[in-house]
Structure 1
Amino acid sequence: MSDKKSYAYFIGGIVICLLGSIFFSTKAIFVKLAYREAPVDAITLLALRMLFSLPFFIVSAFVSSQKSDNVKFTGKQWLGIALVGCLGYYVSSLLDFMGLKYISAGIERLVLFIYPTFVLLMSALVFRSTISVRQWLALLITYSGLLIAFWGEAHVEDASGDFYKGALLIFMCAITYAMYIVGSGRLIPSVGAAKFNSYAMSFAAAAVLLHFFVTSSNSLWDQDGSTYLYSLLMAILGTVIPSYLVTWGIKRVGSNNAAIVGSIGPVSTILQAYFFLQEPIHALQIAGTVLILAGVLMISMKKK
């Protein structure tokens, strides 16, 4: 591949990651709207999200497995896909949904997006990946913005026990999601982006539904109409579409760069929370947003 084509391929991956992150950021908005309008708990809402998402992933898995260039998974790959999928979209998602009970969508996204730090550290410590000077500088700028924005939010939030409980749950969510990003970055090149995503999400959906039927006394068929609406929107706009975008983006730019580019997520969530949830935007949030965008721009302006 020529330098020009390689650069265009990389920039295309950056754009795909950005779109995936923006679509993913709608998830927190739909969760908060569902909590606001109906007495639904985290595992029920997550189960509905996966129930509506699962048909898309099953069909995609079947189609990808019928292609002429399809390669059968080894036993180790099956185990890796199941483990990574459940970490990213069962364990991490459940922690996220639980945390959103206690904190705002804006705070949730700010805490969650410490995960690129974990991604870089895991890649360096476990897989001996090299962290470039550009990545370190982009992280420094990005996290300076996140810290400034978080500082502003924390001063206007009611710092009760529930607030810190919610923040801790989201912190744990960030760790498990980082594991997903690192693991998927290693598996996707050998199994294919679409096929990996379809099977990983299917495993996660199965785990969520099993958890629900074993632990919950609620019924999935007797929920408020708004719960079904937001679950469906969350499944399509906040799960199916962005999961494929992020997977394809990781294939093009790698897990480290995808994690850093994904820091646009807090900006998207804060803006959406302002318009749809009436969560206020403060001056420190704006200052932090500018730095976050600067960090993302550094990644997209990668030298040939």
Structure 2
Amino acid sequence: MDDARVGALFILLSGTGFGTLGVLGVVAGDAGLSIPTVLFFRFGLASVLVTAALAARGELELLRGRNLAAGVGLGAFGYAAMSGLYFVGLEYMTAGMVGIVLYTYPAFVLVLAAVFLEERVGRKSIAALLVTLGGVALITGADPAAADPRGVGIVLVAAVVYATYITISRTALRDVSAPTLTAHVLPAAALTFLVIGAATNSLAMPQTAVGWGSVIGIAALGTAVPIFAFFAGLSRIGAGPASILSAVEPVVTVALGAVFLAEPVSVVVIVGGLLVLVGVVLVPRRQ
């Protein structure tokens, strides 16, 4: 199996892991956990898992200078900002509309990658992007009446932040290994939500087994594993294709929602899922 295919598989694994966040997030919310609490435990526990794994493999490395600043910045101001804005957007719009708006980020990635990383944007990439976004729109159940302008603005900012995060991550990987960068991104994001939670007096320990199970699942299945996989794939296939392949995430979310939350799956959702898969197949191996 060539390097491009391995990279694509890593990105698909990442999207699958991130796809569990929706269901686990609902469970955490039902357990009474606030957004800062969920995100603090998400990144904090994931930091422990990643650090332990790297230490066990003898690969734990501390960054210094510019690389340290990049890792901390990506976590504290990139990934944390995108995650926080996403959850704030949910307070103004339906989850479907938030999903649609957030998944405009591949378009921003393609532009940023072309401008700053000199990656070629060909017709096949554009076609794959359009097909994939069309599928995502169907999957998440577009509802124009639920498109609160405030929510649209907040999540559009989240999409731009995420696109910038992806592009800068690709640049950082030229000097730093993906696992090492991940080990610095996660604790920085955790610190951000610790500060926010303390400032707003909204941090609380989970009080039930369900609460603990949800945050542990979010940290492991929904964060540590998919972030490792994403960086590993990103370094192999480039920012543009990686962002398009990541659109498998809503397919996984819809499937898990149907199985575990009894959410309805309509013909439109099935057609949307097929479009996303077609878009994945159309993605060029490398740009």
Q: Please state how far the C-alpha of 1:258 moved relative to its aligned partner.
A: 0.7
Q: Please state how far the C-alpha of 1:111 moved relative to its aligned partner.
A: 3.0
Are 1:221 and 2:205 matched, yes or no?
yes
Gap regions ≥5 residues in structure 2? none
Deviations 1:173-197 (A, max 9, x none): 2221111111111111311111111
Q: Please state how far the C-alpha of 1:257 moved relative to its aligned partner.
A: 1.1
Could you tell me whether the CA contact under 8 Å between 1:87 and 1:179 is conserved in 2?
no
Structure showing greater radius of gyration is: 1
Are 1:153 and 2:146 matched, yes or no?
no
Relative to 1, partners in 2 of residues 1:275 and 1:87: Cα closer, same or farther, differing over 3 Å? Answer: farther
Look up the match of 1:54.
47
Q: Please state how far the C-alpha of 1:167 moved relative to its aligned partner.
A: 4.6
- SS of the aligned residue for 1:190 comes to coil
Relative to 1, partners in 2 of residues 1:286 and 1:219: Cα closer, same or farther, differing over 3 Å? Answer: closer
Look up the match of 1:12.
6
Could you tell me whether the CA contact under 8 Å between 1:142 and 1:291 is conserved in 2?
yes
- SS of the aligned residue for 2:175 comes to helix
Question: Percent of aligned pairs with the same residue?
Answer: 26
Q: Number of paired residues?
A: 286
Look up the match of 1:247.
231
Look up the match of 1:23.
17
Relative to 1, partners in 2 of residues 1:57 and 1:284: Cα closer, same or farther, differing over 3 Å? Answer: same
Relative to 1, partners in 2 of residues 1:166 and 1:224: Cα closer, same or farther, differing over 3 Å? Answer: farther
Structure 2: distance between partners of 1:259 and 1:104: 23
Structure 1: distance between partners of 2:158 and 2:180: 25
Q: Please state how far the C-alpha of 1:288 moved relative to its aligned partner.
A: 2.1
Could you tell me whether the CA contact under 8 Å between 2:137 and 2:272 is conserved in 1?
yes
Relative to 1, partners in 2 of residues 1:273 and 1:49: Cα closer, same or farther, differing over 3 Å? Answer: same
Look up the match of 1:43.
36
Structure 1: distance between partners of 2:273 and 2:76: 31
Task: Name the stretch that deviates more: 133-142 or 216-225.
Answer: 216-225
Look up the match of 2:102.
112
Look up the match of 1:144.
134
Structure 2: distance between partners of 1:186 and 1:222: 38
Look up the match of 1:266.
250
Look up the match of 2:76.
86
Look up the match of 1:32.
26
TM-score of the pair, normalised by structure 1: 0.83
TM-score of the pair, normalised by structure 2: 0.88
Structure 2: distance between partners of 1:275 and 1:97: 23
Relative to 1, partners in 2 of residues 1:149 and 1:26: Cα closer, same or farther, differing over 3 Å? Answer: closer
Relative to 1, partners in 2 of residues 1:235 and 1:294: Cα closer, same or farther, differing over 3 Å? Answer: same
Look up the match of 1:236.
220
Look up the match of 1:295.
279
Deviations 1:130-160 (A, max 9, x none): 212221121122123234445x4316xx627
Match of 1:20, as an amino acid? S
Could you tell me whether the CA contact under 8 Å between 1:26 and 1:269 is conserved in 2?
yes
Look up the match of 1:133.
123
- SS of the aligned residue for 1:227 comes to helix
- SS of the aligned residue for 1:191 comes to coil
Structure 2: distance between partners of 1:102 and 1:38: 21
- SS of the aligned residue for 2:120 comes to coil
Match of 1:43, as an amino acid? P
Relative to 1, partners in 2 of residues 1:42 and 1:289: Cα closer, same or farther, differing over 3 Å? Answer: same
Structure 1: distance between partners of 2:17 and 2:119: 29
Are 1:191 and 2:184 matched, yes or no?
no
Relative to 1, partners in 2 of residues 1:278 and 1:167: Cα closer, same or farther, differing over 3 Å? Answer: farther
Q: Please state how far the C-alpha of 1:206 moved relative to its aligned partner.
A: 2.0
Structure 2: distance between partners of 1:279 and 1:197: 33
Structure 1: distance between partners of 2:115 and 2:147: 36
